[in-house]
Each structure stands twice: as C-alpha cells, then as structure tokens.
C-alpha cells in the first residue's frame, strides 16, 4: 500500500496543526460557528443528532493492520468502542467529543491517516474496487491511480469550495464493483487501441434526490492526461454548477441542464487549454505509484489444497461460509475473504474495538497485514492461502465476523439512520434488524440466493437504496416514520436505478412487504434465475400487487402527494 514520504507526512501534520488552531480560535470567539463549519467538515467533523460525528478517510478502502489497531484504540479512548464503515469506504465515529477532535486527528496522523475532505463541498475520498490488485477479472491495479487522485485532490486550492460535494470512483475490472456510474466522476480503466492504458470517463452520476447514472463523456483518455482532464471538468463545475439551490448543485444537474453533448464540448474546450501542461503525469510517476502497490510475496501454492477440500466436505457450515464469503484470487492457491459486518442484531457496517483488533490480528497472520473496506460495508482479507481458510473461518466466527451472508438478503447496505444522523427522516438500523429477524434462517437465505437489499434513512441516499434490487427509503411524515420501497435497482456493469412501487409503508410492515416480494420471486422463478432476473422477466406488477395485497393505503394518500413534491424538488 502507499506509504507516506516525509512530504506527505508533513502535509498531514500541518493539517492537524491548522485544525487545532481553528478550534482554539473558535473557542476564543475569533472564528464563528458559521466560519468554522466548512473547515471542520473538510476535516470530517459533523455536528449530529447527539453531538459530533467524525468521518475518517480510508483512501480507496485500503487499511494496514496497524492503522486498524489505531482505529480500535481511538474508538475505545475517544468514543464508545464502535466504528461504522460507510459506503464510501470510510469509518465514522459517532460519539467523539468536539474538543478532542484535534487530538484524534493527531493520533490518526501518527499512522498516516486523516479525515481530510471526508465531508464538505470538495473532492471527497476516492473509492475503488475492494478486490483491487487481486481480482482475476482486473485489467490493472486501480490503486496507483486512486492514490495519484488522492494527492491531486488533497488541498486542491481551486476546488475547495465547490457548489456541492464531489465523488470520484475508479474501476479497473471487467465487473464494476465500485459503482462508478453513481459517482460525480466514474473512471473505468481500459486499454486503448494501441495498447496504452487510459480511462473511459463518466460524469454526472449520483444518488440522492435525483438519482442518475453517469454519462459517458470520453471513450478513451490516455492516462497521462488524467489530471488535466479532471481539472477541466472540475473547473467547469466550480464556475457553472448551480449554487442557488443545494438540491440542484451536484454536477449531474449541470450535465443534465447543458445536455451531455454540450457538456462534453465544453470539457474539451477547457481541456484544450490545459492538456500537455505541467499537470501531465509522466510514466515515472505512474511507476513510482505502482511500486507502492507491489504485490505481496505470494508463494507458489498448489491450486487445490487437499485438506481444504476434505474440510469443505466434512463441515457444512464452513462450506457455506466459503461459498458466500470466499472469492477468487488471481494467484493460484490464494483467496480473498469477506468478513461480514452484517451479523444478526448488529447495525450493518458496525464494528467493535475488539473486532477491529481481531481483524488486524487476522490480517497480520494470514493476509500480509492488510485489510480492505468494501462499499457494501464489509471487510476483506485479500490474500489468504486456501490452506488457511479453515483457521481464518474459526477465528472470524469466534468474533462474529463470519456470518455466511455475503451477497444475500441480510448483507444489507445501510446508513446509520435517524438514531444517529441529523439528516435522516427515519431510522434505518431497527428496520435492518427487523429484516434480519424475519430472514434469520440461513438455508432460506441460500434458497433466495443473490439479491441486494439497501436501506437509506433519507433522500441523501447514503444507503444506496436506488441501486438495490430492493431499496428501502425512510421518509418522515407528520412525525411518523414511513418507508418507500423501490425495486429493480442494480449495481455493477448493469447499474440501474430502481423504481418506486407505490405509497410508502409503516415501519412494522416493512419485513412483511419484503417477504411478499420474495414470495413472488420464489413462486415465479425459473431454474437459475436470481431475484433481479425474475423481476426483469415478469415486470414490476406482480410484485407490486402482492406488496399491497390486503393493505389499506387510504391513510397515506395525502402523505404521498407531499412526498412526491419532495422527491421531484
């Protein structure tokens, strides 16, 4: 992984000093609450329902074991011993003390971490594939490009006060695991006609109130031009993105208003002025970055470990875990392991300090000391020997990190919701828990098979409900929590925005409604069909009919009209 040199470290140390001084000046009355707000946000600090929340950056989801240990220590010392992994591969602490945040940032800096630009109207953490560098379907490792972008975007002087937040994701695999088309800029690493590496560039994706998939603005951008091309896009957005209405301020609205043809023309015109300038990235810099992500010392191993094979036969629970949580690795004899953070009764993405230590230990013993965070809010050990899987499973299981539900209905993406988040209209964790309770039988879950169920507590859509096969959105009406259901969304190469099935449901109805949707699938599916396949074949209507069968919607009719206004605002 990337290791700071003295300059990187100095910059982060200076950032901590700057923030510490800002907090001092704030307490001295020299920096008002309004003046401090964007500054603290760009250091990850929100003021939430119960107090502050600190969002710590985990660049493209890569963590060293030592960093995870530090997070455990920080969560124990400055918080309540729990961290929450987000869909942007970051970690949130929900109970830090405002006045201690400079110390927390100082602690982070001691292990080459920070909370820079994890919030605010600036370029946020760059996200990528959690299987980067080991995926068999990968063209090249995306992480060197992510790190290049991290450095370029860090304290970028021109783009620190954009109209709104700006998210960039990078994919380099045949199957997009980074949902690049729901980002402001999605970068897809591809090989050009002459064999050179470059990017397909998508702009204007995003979820939130107005979900949209990014539009292709360039088929092939040679990699040396990456930064100048992005500067052209960001400059257009900075200058012409709407600033009068925060709900219309994302770049997707600008792209939509101009039309993709015109937007592309404007990018090219601006880029014409910038290309081949000093920001052109020389091969030497790519090589320097690539060296930071040199593969670990993989051993020459047999393709099949006989002991592993016999354990798979002998132990059904182990076999189930392997089926759901162990993934192909490009190197013979190795596998990637997902440690599920979706155990029953635990808010999705939450991890205790003891679990963090356990994962750090596992990483050090079995996976070259490195951990990945997936945008699905799980952790990944990327380089585990097949022969070690059984032991990894046993240890992970003893820490409740081996729920064999990855890719299944209970592997929900879920935001912290109204229990913690000041923006949320409704709680999400209790709904997730109710769904977990209804679907607590693993065999039933295996029978249902691959499906995505995502949950957001408000229209900001942190829980990615728009791109789930079944999406749940919390809405608040007359101080009651209601939940709107979308179906048919997908992430990956076939990324699709789901469709709302109709009036929203009362909280206690949600598990039954999910059950009704699942029943339709189980009754209608043909051999080998996943939920999404059946839905696409038979259409939304049968699902909708079953979801509302026997439910009186009169009560919500008025509410729904109001909701539609919000949605379309």
Binding site for other proteins (CB under 8 A): 5, 7, 10-11, 14-15, 18, 21-22, 30-31, 35, 38-39, 121, 148, 151-152, 154-162, 227, 235, 238-239, 243, 273, 277-279, 281-282, 284-285, 287-288
Answer left, alpha or beta for residue 27, where phi above 0 means left and psi between -120 and 50 means alpha: alpha
- Cα distance between residue 142 and residue 129, in whole Å: 8
Residue 279 C-beta: closest distance to other proteins, Å: 5
DSSP string, 459-505: TT-TT-GGGSSEEEEEEEETTEEEEEEEES-B-STT-B--EE-SS-E
Closest approach of other proteins to the CB of residue 226, in Å: 12
**Closest approach of other proteins to the CB of residue 272, in Å:** 11
| Integer CA distances (angstroms), 16 to 25, 30, 101, 115, 295, in order | 14, 19, 10, 10, 32
In degrees and rounded to multiples of 5, residue 241 shows phi and psi of -65, 150
Q: Measured between alpha carbons, how far is 201 from 190 in angstroms, rounded to an integer?
A: 10
- SS3 assignment for 349-370: CEEEHHHHHHHHHHHHHHCCCE
How far apart (Å, rounded) are the C-alpha atoms in residues 62 and 64?
7
Q: What is the DSSP letter of 241?
A: S
281 or 384, CB closer to other proteins?
281
- Alpha-carbon distance of 237 to 335, in angstroms, equals 42
Question: 266 near 241, Cβ under 8 Å?
Answer: no
Judged by beta carbon, residue 7 or residue 33, the one nearer other proteins is 7
| CB-nearer residue toward other proteins: 127 or 154 | 154
Least Cβ distance, residue 463 to other proteins (angstroms): 27
Rounded to the nearest whole angstrom, what is the least distance from the CB of residue 157 to other proteins in the complex? 4
Of 65, 177, 44, residue with least CA distance to 117: 44
Cβ at position 245, least distance to other proteins in Å: 14
Q: Which two tokens stand for residue 371?
A: 């951990």
The residues pairing with 52 across neighbouring beta strands, listed in sequence order, are: 47
Would you call 309 helix, strand, or coil by DSSP? helix
How far is C-alpha 312 from the geometric centre of its chain's CA atoms?
A: 32
Nearer to other proteins, 230 or 414 (CB): 230
**Looking up tokens 């949902």, which residue turns up?**
179
Closest distance between other proteins and the C-beta of residue 374, in Å? 27
Within 13 Å of residue 226, how many CA atoms lie on the same side as its CB?
Answer: 29
Give 42 or 352: the residue with its C-beta nearer to other proteins.
42
Q: Say if CB 55 and CB 90 are below 8 A apart.
A: yes
Residue closer to other proteins by CB (options 147, 176) is: 147
6 vs 561 by CB, closer to other proteins: 6
Alpha carbons 507 and 197: distance in angstroms, whole number: 49
Q: How far is the CB of 271 from other proteins (least distance, A)?
A: 13
Could you tell me which of 453, 483, 355, 491 has the C-alpha nearest to residue 76? 355
Query: Smallest gap, in angstroms, from Cβ of residue 154 to other proteins?
Result: 6
Q: In the bound complex, what is the minimum distance in angstroms from residue 31's beta carbon to other proteins?
A: 8
Compare residues 15 and 130 and give the one whose CB is closer to other proteins: 15
Nearest to 178 by CA among 135, 209, 208: 135
Distances (CA, A) of 177 to 148, 374, 461: 20, 9, 18
- How many angstroms separate the CA atoms of 304 and 460, rounded? 46
> Toward other proteins, which CB reaches closer, 196 or 283?
283
Q: Is 444 exposed, middle or buried (0-12, 13-18, 19+ CB in 10 A)?
A: middle
Comparing CB distances to other proteins, the nearer of 11 and 434 is: 11
- Closest distance between other proteins and the C-beta of residue 89, in Å? 21
**Least Å from the CB of residue 297 to other proteins:** 22
The smaller minimum CB distance to other proteins, of residues 98 and 155, is found at: 155
Identify the helix (H) or strand (E) that includes residue 326. Answer: strand 326-328
Shortest distance (Å) from residue 37 CB to other proteins: 9
Q: Which is nearer to other proteins, 105 or 227 (CB)?
A: 227
Which residue's CB is nearer to other proteins, number 120 or number 471? Answer: 120
Structure tokens belonging to residue 301: 């191993």
């Amino acid at each position: 992984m990337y290791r700071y040199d003295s300059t990187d470290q100095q910059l982060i140390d200076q950032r901590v000093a700057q923030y510490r001084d800002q907090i001092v000046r704030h307490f001295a009355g020299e920096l008002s609450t309004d003046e401090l707000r964007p500054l603290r946000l760009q250091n990850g600090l929100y003021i939430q329902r119960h107090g502050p929340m600190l969002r710590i950056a985990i660049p493209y989801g890569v963590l060293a074991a030592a960093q995870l240990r530090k997070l455990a220590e920080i969560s124990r010392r400055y918080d309540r011993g729990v961290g929450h992994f987000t869909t942007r591969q970051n970690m949130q602490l929900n109970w830090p003390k405002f006045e201690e945040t400079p110390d927390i940032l100082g602690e982070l800096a001691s292990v080459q971490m920070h909370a820079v630009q994890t919030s605010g109207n600036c370029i946020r953490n760059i996200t990528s594939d959690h299987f980067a560098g080991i995926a068999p379907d990968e063209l090249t490792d995306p992480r060197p490009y992510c790190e290049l972008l991290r450095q370029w975007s860090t304290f970028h002087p021109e783009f620190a006060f954009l109209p709104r937040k700006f998210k960039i994701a990078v994919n380099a695999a045949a199957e997009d695991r980074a949902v690049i088309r729901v980002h402001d800029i999605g970068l897809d690493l591809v090989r050009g006609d002459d064999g050179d590496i470059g990017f397909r560039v998508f702009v204007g994706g995003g979820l939130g109130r107005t979900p949209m998939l990014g539009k292709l603005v360039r088929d092939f951008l040679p990699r040396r031009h990456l930064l100048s091309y992005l500067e052209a896009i960001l400059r257009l957005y900075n200058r012409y993105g709407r600033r009068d209405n925060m709900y219309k301020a994302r770049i997707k609205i600008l792209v939509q208003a101009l039309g993709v043809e015109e937007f592309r023309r404007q990018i090219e015109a601006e880029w014409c002025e910038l290309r081949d300038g000093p920001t052109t990235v020389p091969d030497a810099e790519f090589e320097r970055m690539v060296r930071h992500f040199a593969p670990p010392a993989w051993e020459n191993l047999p393709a099949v470990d006989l002991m592993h094979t016999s354990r798979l036969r002998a132990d059904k629970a182990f076999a189930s875990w392997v089926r759901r949580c162990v993934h192909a690795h490009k190197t013979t004899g190795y596998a990637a392991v997902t440690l599920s953070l979706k155990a029953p009764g635990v808010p999705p993405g939450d991890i205790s300090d003891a679990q963090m230590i356990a994962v750090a230990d596992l990483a050090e013993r079995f996976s070259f000391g490195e951990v990945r965070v997936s945008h699905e809010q799980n952790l990944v050990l990327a380089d585990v020997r097949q022969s070690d899987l059984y032991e990894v499973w046993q240890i992970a299981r003893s820490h409740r990190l081996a729920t064999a539900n990855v890719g299944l209905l209970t592997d929900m993406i879920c935001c912290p919701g109204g229990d913690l988040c000041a923006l949320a209209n409704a709680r999400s964790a209790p709904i997730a828990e109710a769904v977990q309770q209804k679907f607590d039988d693993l065999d039933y879950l295996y029978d249902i098979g691959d499906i995505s169920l995502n949950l957001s507590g408000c229209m900001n859509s942190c829980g990615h409900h728009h791109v789930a096969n079944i999406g749940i959105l919390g809405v608040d009406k007359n101080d009651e929590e209601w939940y709107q259901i979308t179906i048919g969304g997908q992430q990956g190469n076939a990324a699709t925005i789901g469709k709302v099935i109709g009036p929203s449901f009362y909280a206690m109805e949600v598990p039954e409604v999910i059950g009704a949707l699942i029943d339709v699938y189980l009754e209608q599916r043909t051999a080998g069909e996943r939920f999404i396949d059946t839905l696409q074949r038979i259409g939304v209507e049968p699902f909708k009919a079953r979801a509302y069968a026997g439910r009186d919607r009169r009560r919500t009719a008025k509410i729904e009209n109001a909701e539609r206004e919000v949605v379309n605002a």
